[in-house]
Amino acid sequence: MAQYIARRLLQAVLLLFVLSIVMFALVNLAPGGPLAGQGQTRRVRPERVAMLKRQFGLDKPLPTQYMIWLVGNDWMRVDLDGDGKPDEYGTRRGVLRGDFGFSFRTRKPVLEEISLRLSNTFYLTVVTLLVAVIIAVPVGILSALKQYSSFDIVATTFSFAGQAIPEFWLGLILILIFYAWLKNPFTGEPLLPSGGMYSLGGEFSIPDRIVHLVLPVTAGALGWIAWYSRFLRSSMLDVLHQEYLRTARAKGLKESRVIYKHGLRNALIPMVTMFALDLPYLITGAVFIETIFSWPGMGRLYYQSAMQRDYPVLMAILIISGALMILSNLAADILYGFLDPRIRYD
């Protein structure tokens, strides 16, 4: 087991390395390269740009640039004025030591920008996922237990519809209904806010936070509810036809015990791993929800950075979510073996 995890981790590191090379090449494909944003916000003299380039190592060939990006250049002397003689040590520490460079847009360290938003995305994601699971699990179980009943037909139809609604459209429609059309009968204000994490200028209050969560969570969770309920229904149906359930019944167990102890437990195994696999999608999928509901998270940051060619931020988010995807793949595999001893690693 330990050997298996070690091998997978090694593969993950290799994969991440290749991924970062590809991303790096891609970003450098863009016209102007990583300094393209510098001339736009403020007029910068050409000499200054040339110096910046040398300072960041951008005058070097691409492979060297990649090395600098990865391990930094603070251990080697940099030729700042371009006279061919090295002057002082570089300032970059490299991605491996957590230095993703500076955002072109805000000029703050990229990692600082991201860590500000990451918790917001995490908060939205966790609530969305909780809501999705709390609704999807009972719906999926009931659907499977009463296959072809009217409840099952309604739930299945709903899950088809839920999977077909694009979340960006759902977001707009929800704003239309709960912000533009429905009004609070007492104050005449919109029933629900159309965006943001909390009321600006207001004090921290839990009801205010919850009110701001309703629409983004609904828009984000619907697709997941549809997907998980359908997934659980089919894995539950699989389990219900297994022989060990017949055995459990035959030895005289109560039906509820048969279903929940022997059936549900096994049906949930693929769901748990699916869960681990979906986690990064929830974070990257937040691009739409966060953009529509002006939620200050990673997804919106990614969108804004792509809009304004803020390549250091794009790179950092890509690498971080790539790492997340690889790790959650690994977690899913390990979890699967842990929950289901029938699976063997080789």
Residues that bind other proteins (CB under 8 A): 15, 18-19, 23, 26-27, 29-31, 160-161, 163-166, 168-169, 172-173, 175-176, 179-180, 280, 284-285, 287-288, 291-292, 302-303, 306-307, 309, 314, 317-318, 321-322, 324-326, 329
Give min distance, CB of 165 to other proteins, in A: 6
CB of 315 to other proteins, least distance (A): 9
Token readout for 30 is: 């863009």
Q: CB of residue 182 vs other proteins: minimum separation in angstroms?
A: 13
Q: Which two tokens stand for residue 34?
A: 């990583």
Please spell the DSSP secondary structure of 301-321, one letter per residue: HHHHHHHTT-HHHHHHHHHHH
Query: Residue 299 CB, nearest distance to other proteins (Å)?
Result: 9
Q: Are 55 and 91 in contact (CB under 8 A)?
A: yes
> Are 174 and 218 a contacting pair, CB within 8 Å?
yes
DSSP string covering 32-60: TGGGTTHHHHS---HHHHHHHHHHHTTTS
Distance CA 54, CA 33 (A): 14
Q: Which is nearer to other proteins, 199 or 284 (CB)?
A: 284
Closer residue to other proteins (CB): 72 or 288:
288
Identify which of residues 72 and 333 has a Cβ nearer to other proteins in the complex: 333
* Closer of 55 and 103 to other proteins (Cβ): 103
Tell me the closest approach of the beta carbon of residue 83 to other proteins, in angstroms: 34
Q: How far apart are CA 52 and CA 35, in angstroms?
A: 9
By beta-carbon proximity to other proteins, the closer residue of 195 and 296 is 195
